[in-house]
Structure 1
Amino acid sequence: MDNKFESSQTFENLKKSFEDEAKLYFRYKFFLSVSEYEGLDKTSKILRDFSEGSLDNVNGSLDFLRNFKDPSSMVPIGNSTQNIASILQTEIEQTSEIYPQMAKVAREEGFTDVASWFDTLEKLKRNHVTRLKENQSV
């Protein structure tokens, strides 16, 4: 695969596969916790199996993408230094743009509890940025 791969529909499809499967994995895990709480052993087994399979799918797509760019930050990934830089870029974007804007909209629409949740996420991400930057200087 060469640089033209990054401008291909296949590259876009791998990014979409990665994102969709990652979301699905966490939905399976959430639904699994509900079914376990409800004591539904058969349903829990199915959801556990599906979540494990979905995680394999996420890893498979990322394995192809790692030779090019992180599907979220579009920063090159591969070694730990690159991977931390990629994650750091995403965390900074979430802290400085995404979560503050989401909180603002939620407040404007009257959903103060959701706005508070976005504020909490922004603070958490700010802590992540600090820790990642400290790790880079080690």
Structure 2
Amino acid sequence: MTEFKGSDTERNLIKAFTDEAVDYFKYSLYSILARYEGQDYIGRVFEETANNEKEHAKIWFKWLNEGNYPRTLKNLQDAVELENDAVTTDYPEFAKKAREEGFEHIAGLFDSIAEIEKAHLEKFKKLKDALEQEKTIPDNGTTYLWECSACGAIIEQEIRPDYCPLCKHEDTFFFKKNPQ
């Protein structure tokens, strides 16, 4: 039998997982858009299909992890690595290329999202460190940050924002947070 790591089967599982995860997101978005246009039945079909795709992705994800879901500490380490790549490599390179090609607005969006990813990175690092040390993270802030539930943007102000300045959502929930 061929070694699983590096095999075509592993590559196919990675592609299947990635494709199903992307389809889940797209169909979920299509569902919202269809309902917004008054197409409730089509929205339900997209939602049902999205949920099927999510379950398919979970199957492939489990197989990519030796038939089990990874433990939280491993998931936090993975999240730290993913967010670090986004912050240190991906988004800076994306922004640079967009600027070179004259897409300054898109470059600015890449820069803005990179800042959100940086906040994600710090959050995951703290959680990972706390879990490794079997500690809980204290809530010690006094001024509020608001996290957009749609895109994750962090807005610092005293009261709940009326809309997100990054994604422009008005009908979104903002999580009240204490600063890190």
What TM-score results when the alignment is normalised by the length of structure 2? Answer: 0.68
2:129 paired residue number = 137
Larger Rg: 2
Which has more helix, going by share of residues?
Answer: 1
- CA distance in 1 between partners of 2:129 and 2:12 (Å): 36
2:4 paired residue number = 5
- CA distance in 1 between partners of 2:49 and 2:35 (Å): 15
Give deviations 1:1-60, integer Å, cap 9, x for gaps.
Answer: x99111211111000000111111111011111101001022111101110101001101
- CA distance in 2 between partners of 1:30 and 1:78 (Å): 28
User: Percent identity over the alignment?
Assistant: 27
Residue number among 107, 114, 121 corresponding to 2:113 in the alignment: 121
Letter in 2 for 1:91: E
2:139 paired residue number = none
Moved over 2 A (4+): none
Unpaired segments of 5 or more residues in structure 1? 69-76
Letter in 2 for 1:96: T
2:86 paired residue number = 94
**Any conservation in 2 of the 1:88–1:132 contact (CA below 8 Å)?**
yes
After TM superposition, give the deviation of residue 67 of structure 1 in Å. Answer: 2.0
- CA distance in 2 between partners of 1:40 and 1:30 (Å): 13
Give deviations 1:71-106, integer Å, cap 9, x for gaps.
Answer: xxxxxx722111111111111011000000001111
**Any conservation in 2 of the 1:67–1:78 contact (CA below 8 Å)?**
no
Aligned residues: CA RMSD? 1.7
Letter in 2 for 1:19: T
Unpaired segments of 5 or more residues in structure 2? 131-180
2:155 paired residue number = none
Which has more strand, going by share of residues?
Answer: 2
The 5 A counterparts of 1:18-57 are: 18-57=17-56
1:71 paired residue number = none
